[in-house]
Chains A and B, each alone.
Chain A
Amino acid sequence: MSDVAEAIRAEALTKRFGSVTALAGVSIALKRGETLGILGDNGAGKSTLIKILTGYHQPDSGQLFVDGKPVRLGSVDEARAFGIECVYQDLALVNGLSVYHNLFLNRELLRPGLLRLLDHAAMRRRAAEALAEIGVNVPSIEIEVGALSGGQRQAIAVARAVCSKARILLLDEPLAAMGAREAQQIIRLIERLKARGDIAIAMIAHNYAQTLEICDRVILMQHGCVTFESATAATSAAELLEIVRREYRQRA
């Protein structure tokens, strides 16, 4: 039942920044256990869409629904309260802190008592459990994040979102600037999260082949509109490329 429930739906979102129309009526829907790839050129409106879904921007018009109920996401914290978490391109990890401190950043576990001291032992234990559960391997949870590879850091960032009970996970270019082997680790991590069935995942990506490999469905955004939508099984990188090329020819 959970795998058919609609997690988040956006209807006719518009957003303008001054004279620039970033979104001109975008509608998307995302189910639990489903992975949606959002493709498109720079400036197509992908990031604006993600930032509206995370409560960072508010749309000028249009409506958001979480679990079928209309909601207004006034801030990142409000979105978080609905289980919406975003893993940004800049990773948002503190390199000088340990893996487990990063996993619990600003959600630290405290020892009982008036002094409100950090419970390092509980955080270590829970971090190790959480990472094992989603199959992320790091040399040690006490190691500073700065000493990890890009892929491991990305995995930690994803793990942090999952740890904080993300039910709608938004990934901003999770495979950017990553070698093939590291990208494979992240792809497998996303597949494991998908297999849990309780998380809806939307990811911005540039690499068509990788997106088609991971995602159940893709949308293509151009000039603030969704110009193409398809199940990944029913399309191909060649078809997507052809649509984008046609667009360039028209503009030329």
Chain B
Amino acid sequence: MAIQPATLSARGVARRAHGLLLRPEAGVFIVSVVLVLYFQVANANFLTDANLQTLSQFVAAPVIIACGEIMLLICREIDLSVGQVFALAPFVMSDAHAAGLPVVAAILVALLVCALIGLAIGLITIWLEVPSFITTLGMLFLVTGVTLTISRGFPANTPGGPLLTNILGGWGYAEIVWALIAVAIMHVVLRHTRWGLHTVAIGGNLTAAAEAGIAINRIKIGNFVLTSTLGGLAGLLEAFRIGSTDPLAGGSTIMFLGVASGIIGGTALGGGSGTIIGGLVGAILLGVLQDGFTLQGINAFTFDIIIGAAILIAMIANIRIARRRQRGGE
């Protein structure tokens, strides 16, 4: 309790504000705001309700996926197959619904299947000691094959009445609301629970985590389950928004957007540090670029060059910051 007045003092607030500005996501946020202003000046349609809906839809799915990938990256793992799980989930739901389950139950079945894929990835990675890069690369092809097989290569209509559809993505801002809920929950998990703290400890110093008695395998497997489930959730929301779903939806593009959002937002590629808020800010930056350039009418080919360059610059900055931190530690 004695510490309470100090945290509320003006000096404490100033120190916190200073600390906030030094965080990697602060820079990314400022860049995003500048870009928003630029696009608004260049095209008055940018800050309209219609465009903000579109922008929020660009941002939502990568943010949800980033929430999982950030946890994995922090504990030195990655999931390359989350985009394929994203595509599989709506088909599992459609099939479960066609088999007679109510839509809500079908959604839960789909999420359960995604969780089991995450569990399989985790068990193969931990028990058989296969690097997760390889495990999930294999899973990427395997899940695509499963999706194509059960869909026979055809798109499917999303089931559900109007109310449920609106809640789960039909309403323009529904997806971003779900994404923000995921961000809020995962931020608390990462910063304010033992699970999050132990995830950071595992990525920061595996030996130390083991010597402290942290259940390393349980936490890593749990984070794989979490990522696959969030990937499935993002895929389901997208299916409800669009009203139908394609067997080749999502894929590696959505996975890389999720990973890139995390890295741009300051999650260390080498593990041991990262923030969920950073992932949100990173996804907003990528979304603003994508949406803004689309409004400007920039050629899709040029656009990929710009996005690619932006991601490269962010990754280079990420590695340099990590190096400086390490040197500071010596």
Chain A residues within CB distance 8 Å of chain B:
76-77, 88, 90-97, 101, 105-106, 108, 110, 115-118, 120-121, 124-125, 144, 146-147
Q: Mark B310-330, 1 if CB is under 8 A from A, else 0.
A: 000000000000000110110
Q: Which one, B4, B192, B198, B205, contacts A106 given CB within 8 A?
A: B198
Q: Is the CB of A118 within 8 A of B192?
A: yes
**Complex: chain A residue closest to B2, CB-CB:** A125
Q: Which B residues lie within 8 Å of A93 (CB)? A: 205, 208
**Complex: chain B residue closest to A160, CB-CB:** B212
Q: Is the CB of A92 within 8 A of B2?
A: no
Q: Is the CB of A96 within 8 A of B188?
A: no
Q: Which A residues lie within 8 Å of B192 (CB)? A: 117-118, 120
Q: Mark B1-16, 1 if CB is under 8 A from A, else 0.
A: 0111000000000000
A sample of 11 more A-B contacts (CB under 8 A), given A96-B272, A124-B3, is A77-B213, A90-B208, A93-B205, A96-B200, A96-B203, A96-B273, A106-B213, A108-B194, A118-B192, A144-B329, A146-B325
Q: Which B residues lie within 8 Å of A110 (CB)? A: 194
**Complex: chain B residue closest to A125, CB-CB:** B3
B88 CB to nearest chain A CB (Å): 32
A53 CB to nearest chain B CB (Å): 15
Report the bound CA distance from A120 to B192 in whole Å: 8
Q: Is the CB of B204 within 8 A of A97?
A: yes
Q: Which of B175-200 contact A (CB under 8 A)?
A: 188, 192-194, 197-198, 200
A46 CB to nearest chain B CB (Å): 19
Report the bound CA distance from A124 to B4 in whole Å: 11
Q: Which A residues lie within 8 Å of B205 (CB)? A: 92-95
Interface pairs (21), CB distance under 8 Å: A76-B211, A92-B205, A92-B207, A94-B200, A94-B201, A94-B209, A97-B197, A97-B204, A105-B201, A105-B209, A105-B214, A106-B194, A106-B198, A106-B214, A115-B193, A117-B188, A117-B192, A118-B193, A121-B3, A146-B326, A147-B329
Report the bound CA distance from A150 to B184 in whole Å: 37
Q: Is the CB of B3 within 8 A of A97?
A: no
Count chain B residues whose beta carbon lies closer than 8 angstroms to a beta carbon of A: 27
Chain B residues within CB distance 8 Å of chain A:
2-4, 188, 192-194, 197-198, 200-201, 203-205, 207-209, 211-214, 272-273, 325-326, 328-329
Number of A-B contacts (CB under 8 A): 75
**Complex: chain A residue closest to B272, CB-CB:** A96
Q: Is the CB of A91 within 8 A of B208?
A: yes
**Complex: chain B residue closest to A111, CB-CB:** B192
A249 CB to nearest chain B CB (Å): 39
**Complex: chain B residue closest to A87, CB-CB:** B211
B219 CB to nearest chain A CB (Å): 11
Q: Is the CB of A106 within 8 A of B212?
A: yes
Q: Which B residues lie within 8 Å of A117 (CB)? A: 188, 192-193
Q: Which B residues lie within 8 Å of A115 (CB)? A: 193
Q: Is the CB of A108 within 8 A of B197?
A: yes
Report the bound CA distance from A96 to B212 in whole Å: 15
Given contacts A117-B188, A118-B197, contact A95 B209 (CB under 8 A): no
Q: Which one, B3, B194, B203, contacts A116 given CB within 8 A?
A: B194
Q: Is the CB of B2 within 8 A of A97?
A: no
Q: Which A residues lie within 8 Å of B212 (CB)? A: 92, 105-106
**Complex: chain A residue closest to B271, CB-CB:** A96
Q: Is the CB of A116 within 8 A of B200?
A: no
B12 CB to nearest chain A CB (Å): 11
Q: Which one, A90, A96, A97, A106, contacts B207 given CB within 8 A?
A: A90
Q: Which A residues lie within 8 Å of B200 (CB)? A: 94, 96-97
Q: Which B residues lie within 8 Å of A97 (CB)? A: 197, 200-201, 204
Q: Is the CB of A94 within 8 A of B193?
A: no
Q: Which A residues lie within 8 Å of B3 (CB)? A: 121, 124-125
Report the bound CA distance from A163 to B201 in whole Å: 19
Report the bound CA distance from A167 to B4 in whole Å: 33
**Complex: chain B residue closest to A105, CB-CB:** B212
